[in-house]
Structure 1
């Protein structure tokens, strides 16, 4: 498994709606993410800045590169575009990769 992290920016005043939409994530989107090799996906919010931090685990043979072209993913991004900063001329969220700096995985005895 590979762990990756990235950040996105929530527009001001949209915390509750962002949470509501993710709490009601479409089953077909959850299936698509799983089918492309995503095994664990979390998004955290820094309330002071509106910055979203995402961390996910994906399989070595993941197919995440195909997600931007998939109709379900495009529909989800369009659904979320009014809440987040997006790429120029696109509904895709503006995603900034984060560099790993430290990881501790203590052994459980």
Structure 2
């Protein structure tokens, strides 16, 4: 099991919309993530900077960021593109973070 962390940035004043959309996460997207080894996925919000901090526990080599060619993921990215920083293909601008401490 590996732990993956990355950050993204939300557009100003979009926290409630972001939260609502994730509270109503599409069942097919959740199924896809779990089928691809994502067993835990948390996203935290920093009010001061509008930075989203994401954390995943993943079995295997990849996480949600490695599903770029999946149509469900592309549809989700299009759905979220109006409220966060995205790349030209509407994928979230996502910056991997290095783990520097872990306590069990």
Q: Same fold (TM over 0.5)?
A: yes
CA RMSD of aligned residues (A): 1.4
Report if aligned partners of 2:5, 2:98 keep a CA contact under 8 Å in 1.
yes
Aligned length: 104
- Listed as ranges, the gaps of 5+ residues in structure 2 are none
Which residue is equivalent to 2:90?
A: 91
Does the residue aligned with 2:67 lie in a helix, a strand or coil? helix
- Does the alignment pair 1:6 with 2:6? yes
Which residue is equivalent to 1:36?
A: 36
**Distance between the aligned counterparts of 1:65 and 1:97, measured in 2?**
10
Give the deviation of 1:66 after TM superposition: 5.1
- Listed as ranges, the gaps of 5+ residues in structure 1 are none
- Does the alignment pair 1:24 with 2:24? yes
After TM superposition, the score normalised by the length of structure 2 is 0.94
Q: Which has the larger radius of gyration?
A: 1
